[in-house]
Amino acid sequence: MAKGMREIKRQIKSTQNTKQITKAMEMVAASKLRRSQEAAEAARPYAEKIKEVVTSIAAGTKGSTNPILVSRPIRKTGYLVITSDRGLAGGYNANLLRKLMLTIRENHSSKDEYVVFVVGRKGRDFLKKRGIPVIGEVTGISDAPKFADIKELASLAVSNFVDGKYDELHLVYNKFHNAITQEPVLNRILPLDMGEGGQAADYEYEPSQEEVLNILLPKYAETLVFSALLESKASEFGAKMTAMGNATRNATEMIARYTLMYNRARQASITQEISEIVAGANAQG
């Protein structure tokens, strides 16, 4: 009985230590989430403005032959997947990678029909283990990413499309709604769809309207990738905060169960000792 009680006490102590760690990680994730949300919100006006400018210029260059705007028969597809470097984030990575693999199975019969760019160690390791053709990767991005962190990969993804190495490019990332909800999404970003209703601005362009558009279009596509990265970071910290919050609550429940088990074992031990004392007294009497 004493041995069992000592084991329960060790389990209580171990679970209490785990609870302290998960609570601290929850608080850190909450702090980083606030900063990531602010960064994502701060980037939106820039993305909206560059889209407005590009749409305006495109409206004034009807019939542009820039490959970023021209749809073509789909023979090969590119995917740019944004995952995290670390785990302990619930289903953040698993749900996203499941969506990617389902899309690949539904749309491609051969590995020659698609290529993948990946951000984050979790995605890189997952895809390479399954023999998925990864042609570009970035890992070790900080918790407060800068455009320079993603620029080289985004530029490569865009230039490969322009060069005709694939005929469309999809972004695969977790869209941030709130700390509890992160939605795995797959968005086609190339060729760009400028939408309807763009108004041509009355400006003079040097050297020409078409050449300005040719410079801005790749920048706009790269901005879409960076915006997705910021959304992904906010989603990652939201998922971590939720996962660590759940772990903390589970630890609290486990401590309560272990404490009840310990008290019952202690009561049984006391009862047994009293019974032995009474039995000994009766035997002497």
Contact 270, 30 (CB under 8 A): no
Q: Which residue has the higher pLDDT, 195 or 145?
A: 145
What is the CATH class of 2-26+243-284?
Answer: mainly alpha
Provide mean pLDDT across the span 200-210.
69
pTM of the full predicted structure?
0.85
Architecture of domain 42-239: 3-Layer(aba) Sandwich (3.40)
CB atoms under 10 Å from CB of 248, counted, come to 20
Q: Which of 231, 225, 236 is nearest to 85 (CA)?
A: 236
User: Is the pLDDT reported for residue 197 higher than 60?
Assistant: no
**Given pLDDT bands bounded at 50, 70 and 90, which one contains residue 211?**
confident
Phi, psi of 90 (to 5 degrees): 60, -135
User: Is the pLDDT reported for residue 61 higher than 90?
Assistant: no
Domain boundaries of the chain, sorted by first residue: 2-26+243-284, 42-239
Distance CA(241)–CA(179), nearest Å, equals: 7
Q: Which residue has the higher pLDDT, 47 or 32?
A: 32
What's the chain's average pLDDT? 88
The one-letter amino acid code at 255 reads I
Provide mean pLDDT across the span 182-195.
87
